[in-house]
Amino acid sequence: MHAAGWAHADVQPTNTLITADSHTEVIDYALACGPGTDRRLLYRGALTHTTAPEIAAAVLATPADAHVQAQPAADVWSLGASLFWCWTGHRPVPYDDSLDRRDKLAVIATGRTTPLADVRHWLFPDFEDTITACLVPDPVDRPTAKELIAAW
């Protein structure tokens, strides 16, 4: 999908399934952003807790009727956020639940995350390194999906 220029644009724990034969499947492509200018839906981010910093910044910087084009690197950040959340029971970006969505996005857009070591329950260095690599604030510094697959 990424190699063809598409981003899922809604990677989150509930859109990831583990099959009976221990394979992982990503589901729910309703918000997927493809190459080109054809738009099925206006994309303004998805689940707040797994929104990549660059998506949060773009949503905040554009009018409510402007499409934000998700890129594959945002999916990688969202994967890292999902793994962080599932591994620790904490969202990777700390913000007050009483904040409205725009204020939560402003916190996410800073690129700062909770240090994994502060909230993990036990040590799993290789897994933690993968999560940390996915959550790098600058999208160009994140591993690609292909690199993640090769590493595991």
59, 43 contact by CB (below 8 A): no
The answer on pLDDT for 42 being more than 80 is: yes
pLDDT at 38: 77
The residues spanned by each domain of the chain are 13-151
Tell me which DSSP letter residue 144 carries: P
The answer on pLDDT for 74 being more than 90 is: yes
pLDDT at 83: 96
Q: Write down the pTM of the prediction.
A: 0.95
Rounded distance between C-alpha atoms, residue 76 and residue 106, angstroms: 20
136 pLDDT band, cuts 50/70/90, is: very high
φ, ψ of residue 18 to 5 degrees: the values are: -105, 120
Q: State the architecture of 13-151 in CATH terms.
A: Orthogonal Bundle (1.10)
pLDDT at 152: 82
The answer on pLDDT for 138 being more than 90 is: yes
| 80-112 residue pLDDT tens | 999 999 999 999 999 999 999 999 999 999 999
